[in-house]
Structure 1
Amino acid sequence: MKFVRDKLSAKFFLFLVLAFILIQIPIIGNYISIINTLIHESGHAFISLLGGNVKTISLFMNSEGVTYSNQSTWIGSFFTCLAGYVFSSFMAFLSFWFIWKKKQTVLIDILLGFIAMNLIFWVRNLYGLFWLVSFGLVFLYLLIKGSQSFRNHLLLLISSVLLVDSVKSAYEIMYISFMQPKSAGDAFNLAQLTGIIPVQVWGTFFFAQALWFCYLGLKKGFYKI
């Protein structure tokens, strides 16, 4: 039993390393990382819909993204700014939870749902449309043509990318919040909204919550998958 668990843990570690290497590769890495950007921006959009509206979402070749929305209240603006990093970190953990529960089909439906919703309602820039269509078609093709084992490994790789990139992007926003506070995106916006909580605290919060969800995801991966 211990041998089987160690073997599964080694596989999980290998996929994390592979995900980290993949997102470092020029062009390809940015293309793959957009899956995390898509979920990040969708988090902003979902919260925006609770008290306002979403104009568009743009996904860029450098793996960055932006959500354009209107909010009618301070609380709506606050939670919209807060949602992106938290939602992507939570989704990374949730992906491993679905794999642990052997509900890969649900995870597939969720990922395709993100792609379809953004394609239909929000993303309008050229590269964003290209990414949604190309990634969606390739994802569907691999799922249809691949064996169940291949499908499960593909989902494990995507989940690993989400986990690694959610931590990486949260660390980057924390670093920027100390080095160039006005360029710290959501952390800077939250500092402006709250007034008394500096941008560095928000940047650190984003990184801390990413580490927490990463820890929860690692527990599922190393001991359950």
Structure 2
Amino acid sequence: MSNWLKTILFLIGSALLTHLPLIPSSFFRNLDTMVHEFGHAAMTLALSGKVMYIELYANHSGVTYSAITNSWALLPVSLAGYFTASLFAWFLFSAYARGKQRLGLQVMTVLAVLSLVLFVRNMFGITWLIGFIVITILVLALTPKWLRDFYYLLVAFICLEESVFGPFSLVVYALNNARSAGDATNLALHTGVPAVVWALLFTLFSLWCAKRAVQAFLGRKKGSRAQRPQTSYTTYRD
């Protein structure tokens, strides 16, 4: 089975599993939104712009209000949101493949704290960030390893799913109404390149990152099997 087919099946399976009634996936979907908006804010600051504030909404959308003096800077700032979210999902699975789940949870917490202190100003966003920070710190400090790993993988799978289906939905929006495609619309207005082209770029990059994430995850599983202590069954086969 090709890596691309594995990636597509993996994403479909993730979407089905994370939408089960007993899994509180809706709450954690805002993590992808937070990372997306944090990417915009970080790139704005890196290019000497000013971030006024970020708002996160209950429908898993968000917006970053910023001021940029150089018009050319709009290109990297607009690209940063979806690119950052895709790279973050890949990072989570790469950390898992190296057994660095605690590091991944710590990075989530740090990003949430920075967003809370520096950027997010609307009530829902503040409330969600406080809740996510408290839950993640409790998981880090008090839960057994199996529960911590379950929490980590739940969040990682949701981020992976959102990082791909988010830009894919942008393609649909761009085809139906080019002015309702968010970052793709902003890029189209300032470059003349159609919004659907930018949306496809976001989608292709997210799929590439997803493929790398799936390879890391499956590689971890294969590595774990290869490193198991020899058993009587293994001796018999030899």
TM-score, structure 2 as length reference: 0.83
Bigger radius of gyration among the two: 2
Q: Do residues 134 (structure 1) and 131 (structure 2) align?
A: yes
Is this contact kept in 2: 1:58–1:123, CA < 8 A?
A: yes
**Deviation of 1:30 (Å):** 3.3
Which residue number corresponds to residue 201 of structure 1? 197
Q: Do residues 162 (structure 1) and 170 (structure 2) align?
A: no
Which residue number corresponds to residue 152 of structure 1? 149
Distance 1:42 1:24 in 2: 28
Which residue number corresponds to residue 220 of structure 1? 216
Distance 2:182 2:197 in 1: 13
Q: Do residues 89 (structure 1) and 75 (structure 2) align?
A: no
* Structure 1: gaps of 5 or more residues: 1-8
What's the Cα RMSD here? 2.1
More displaced stretch, 103-112 vs 86-95: 103-112
Partner letter of residue 123 of structure 2?
A: L
Aligned length in residues: 211
Is this contact kept in 2: 1:89–1:214, CA < 8 A?
A: yes
- Aligned partner (choices 36, 56, 76) of residue 59 of structure 1: 56
Which residue number corresponds to residue 107 of structure 2? 110
Distance 2:32 2:118 in 1: 19
Partner letter of residue 107 of structure 1?
A: G
Find the residue that maps to 1:124 and give its secondary structure: coil
Q: Do residues 49 (structure 1) and 38 (structure 2) align?
A: no
More displaced stretch, 143-152 vs 119-128: 143-152
Distance 1:217 1:71 in 2: 33
**Deviation of 1:139 (Å):** 1.6
**Deviation of 1:23 (Å):** 4.9
Which residue number corresponds to residue 178 of structure 2? 181
Structure 1 vs Structure 2: percent identity of aligned residues? Answer: 28
Runs of 4+ in 1 over 6 A off after TM superposition: none
Is this contact kept in 2: 1:30–1:61, CA < 8 A?
A: no
Is this contact kept in 2: 1:177–1:203, CA < 8 A?
A: yes
* Structure 2: gaps of 5 or more residues: 1-5, 222-238
Which residue number corresponds to residue 96 of structure 2? 99
